[in-house]
Amino acid sequence: MLVIGAYYFISVFQPGSGDYTYQQFMKDVKSDKVTAVTIKQNKEVPTGTITAEFGKDDYKSCEVTDVNQAINDIKKADSSLANKISIKGIDHSGDMISNLIGVVLPIGVVIFFMVMMMRQNGGGGGKMMDFGKSRAKLANPNGKKVTFNDVAGLTEEKEELEEVVEFLKNPGRFIKIGARIPKGVLLVGPPGTGKTLLAKAVAGEANVPFFSISGSDFVEMFVGVGAARVRDLFAEAKKHSPCIVFIDEIDAVARRRGSGLGGGHDEREQTLNQMLVEMDGFGVNEGIIMIAATNRVDILDPAILRPGRFDRKVGVGRPDVKGREDILKIHCRQKPLGDDVDLHEIARTTAGFVGADLENLMNEAAIQAARDDRAYIMKEDIDKSFIKVGIGTEKKSRVVPESERRITAYHESGHAILFHLLPDVGPVYTVSIIPTGTGAAGYTMPLPENDNVFMTRGKMIQDIMVSLGGRIAEELILDDITTGASQDIKQVTQYARAMVTKFGMSDELGLINYDSGEGDEVFLGKEIGQQRPYGENTQTVIDQEVKKIVNKCYKDAKAMIEEHIDVLHKCAALLLEKERINRAEFEALFEPETEVETQA
């Protein structure tokens, strides 16, 4: 916009240049075509306008830079024309004002818009001239505080951080014996396990200034901005020392350097280098404790993980059954529960859930109760929210052809029978042929009752067998097979290949890791060039071993379903009638002497 204004300024004050030029005028004078000349001289300047008269009502004009020189040129070219020159003065005061308005107005508009943009982007370190300012937010000491009482299921993790809080409150107790405060604490764990909540609890307990910022707030499109923001962040932290600086999702700025498609020295690496220097360089940052959270510790740069920068690495894992029960108690503080709600039973049936999942589970249950105009949450609400959280929203209004409903019923019945018969993968929680929002035509939801730390070979074999159950049922009952088992087949292949290449569960290949790391993302710090650490012959053996495992599982699973073919038919019929059946209804199908009562 400034360039446009400058161009307009030049164009206004530059003498106009039409089709008729001074050179053409002089040619016409020498050719005796001009009968009279009128010169209008600008005030106080030698420039002016020459108007040549060629006859009646025939005039042409051009601009001249020096009127006196033009008069001398005319006299030399045609002395008889000298007596026919009329000279007039021009008052340009009005033109000058209009010209100034034409220049000042666009420049003023440009300045106005620049000021408005700066005001709009103001606040939070976002001003146009404040790119290098840190975007860290200082927690309000008078605001609502989160304490360790609000954190459940993380007993050992809280103990680690309580020591940091104690050091901030009473540093003399530790300094007296020669201990130093940890410079950094890295919280590592899956999403939703409570890493950010732990950091908020530290802030609430420590009663010291608490700065929080996201890793993505450092990196910008302009080179050097991230490093400047790191410097500004630590400069602000030093002013409020002792204090805590919390960086959420630090993997956005601290990824491994010198790898991936981006190559070497980019803006992110400059930012990381500055952070490394600030955390443990020549400067002194006493009293500043760094807390960072990530769920991708595998892609972090090794330099930031060493002692002296992040002295402690606290693993925040999935809670066990006792931890889940404690978390549920916290999330039910403000939620009235019905007499039929047993939090211990809910905790037992939500193996694998993290804190965020449990919070979402109870929130969906509360929404369901409010939708039904009830003042308390019933077990029925939690059961519905369990399906919604685990599978997705059911599309009950979707019209499904009867032939497809029958295919889905037998497919899901095949999965469910194997879930029930195999000891390490069941029991069945619910079976449904209602389509879901995720695109599935139906689902079979198991109910794991144990928190398994390890995956045994037997458990992986049973997982493969269960995944094959749907395709086996289709082959046994239907005239043709469908694409409904595509995701199951993909999962089967992944399990079998992992058993052979990663976990040493193949007798033929032995205890050797053949995993080439092909799943590693180049954009997450891995190398762009990947090579298999084995030859073609070994690849052939791997494929043969994978196929051998899948074929064996398929044969065993098919035999089990054929043995319970009557249950397969009864389960499919019950699903076609009710669309969804629970654990009790499904397990009753295996009792040959009991007639199953269907409910409308």
**Does one domain contain both 342 and 447?**
no
> At a CB cut-off of 8 Å and minimum separation 6, what does 189 contact?
195, 295, 315, 316, 317
**Does one domain contain both 278 and 340?**
no
Confirm whether 98 is domain-assigned.
no
| Residue 412 falls in the annotated catalytic set | yes
Is the per-residue pLDDT at 123 higher than 60? no
State pLDDT tens for residues 506-535: 989 989 888 866 555 544 555 555 567 788
**Does one domain contain both 324 and 295?**
no
* 367: CATH: 1.10.8.60
Q: What is the pLDDT of residue 593?
A: 56
Long-range contacts of the stretch 393-398 (C-beta < 8 A, 24+): 393/436, 393/437, 394/432, 394/434, 394/435, 394/436, 394/437, 395/434, 395/435, 395/436, 395/437, 396/434, 398/435
- Considering 269, 412, 545, 585, which one is annotated as catalytic? 412
SS3 state of residue 584: helix
**Does one domain contain both 363 and 404?**
no
SS3 state of residue 343: helix
Confirm whether 404 is domain-assigned.
yes
Helix extents (H) in 62-92? 67-77
**Does one domain contain both 274 and 355?**
no
**Does one domain contain both 209 and 278?**
yes
CA distances from 350 to 71, 288, 382, 432 (A): 102, 39, 11, 19
Q: Which residues are annotated as part of the binding site for ATP?
A: 189-196
Inter-residue contact 183 to 162 (CB < 8 Å): no
Is the per-residue pLDDT at 196 higher than 70? yes
Is the per-residue pLDDT at 44 higher than 80? no
**Does one domain contain both 578 and 440?**
yes
Report the predicted TM-score, pTM, of the whole model to 2 decimal places: 0.69
**Does one domain contain both 309 and 326?**
no
Confirm whether 597 is domain-assigned.
no
Inter-residue contact 320 to 451 (CB < 8 Å): yes
Q: What is the pLDDT of residue 328?
A: 94
Is the per-residue pLDDT at 499 higher than 90? yes
Confidence tier at 596 by pLDDT (50, 70, 90):
very low
- Segments forming the whole domain that contains residue 496: 400-520+531-588
Q: Which residues are annotated as part of the binding site for Zn(2+)?
A: 411, 415, 488
Confirm whether 197 is domain-assigned.
yes
Q: Which of 550, 577, 597, 600 is nearest to 413 (CA)?
A: 577
Dig out the tokens for 237 from the structure.
Answer: 């932290």
**Residues 545, 236: Cα–Cα separation, whole Å:** 60
**Does one domain contain both 326 and 425?**
no
Q: Which residues are annotated as part of the binding site?
A: 189-196, 411, 415, 488
**Does one domain contain both 293 and 175?**
yes
Inter-residue contact 220 to 131 (CB < 8 Å): yes
Concatenated DSSP letters of 261-280: TT-SS-HHHHHHHHHHHHHH
Q: 138 - beta bridge partners?
A: 211
**Does one domain contain both 331 and 370?**
yes
Concatenated DSSP letters of 462-481: HHHHHHHHHHHHHHHHSSS-
**Does one domain contain both 443 and 324?**
no
Confirm whether 172 is domain-assigned.
yes
Structural domain count, the chain: 4
Q: What is the pLDDT of residue 53?
A: 83
Is the per-residue pLDDT at 124 higher than 50? no
Q: Which of 146-150, 562-566, 574-578 has the lowest mean pLDDT?
A: 146-150
Q: What percent of the chain has pLDDT over 90?
A: 31
**Residues 187, 180: Cα–Cα separation, whole Å:** 20
Q: Which of 469, 377, 380 is nearest to 428 (CA)?
A: 469
Inter-residue contact 161 to 315 (CB < 8 Å): no
Around 454, how many Cα atoms within 13 Å sit in the side-chain half-sphere? 4
Is the per-residue pLDDT at 24 higher than 50? yes
CA distances from 100 to 5, 8, 49 (A): 12, 11, 21
Backbone torsions φ then ψ of 42, nearest 5 degrees: -70, 150
> At a CB cut-off of 8 Å and minimum separation 6, what does 339 contact?
none
State pLDDT tens for residues 443-495: 898 887 777 778 899 999 999 999 999 999 999 998 889 998 999 999 999 99
Q: Which of 97-101, 356-360, 536-540 has the lowest mean pLDDT?
A: 97-101
Confirm whether 165 is domain-assigned.
yes
Rounded to an integer, the average pLDDT of 303-332 is 90
Inter-residue contact 77 to 24 (CB < 8 Å): no
Q: Which of 352, 369, 389 is the last residue of a domain?
A: 389
Q: What is the pLDDT of residue 488?
A: 94
Q: Which of 530, 305, 563 is nearest to 421 (CA)?
A: 563
Q: What is the DSSP letter of 130?
A: -
Confirm whether 97 is domain-assigned.
no
Dig out the tokens for 371 from the structure.
Answer: 């939708």
Is the per-residue pLDDT at 113 higher than 60? yes
Q: What is the pLDDT of residue 7?
A: 47
Rounded to an integer, the average pLDDT of 220-243 is 81
Concatenated DSSP letters of 156-172: HHHHHHHHHHHHHH-HH
Q: What is the pLDDT of residue 554?
A: 97
Residue with the bigger pLDDT between 181 and 500: it is 500
Confirm whether 4 is domain-assigned.
no
Q: What is the pLDDT of residue 10?
A: 45
Q: How many CB atoms lie within 10 A of CB 392?
A: 15
* 241: CATH: 3.40.50.300
Q: Which of 389, 412, 442 is the last residue of a domain?
A: 389
Is the per-residue pLDDT at 240 higher than 60? yes
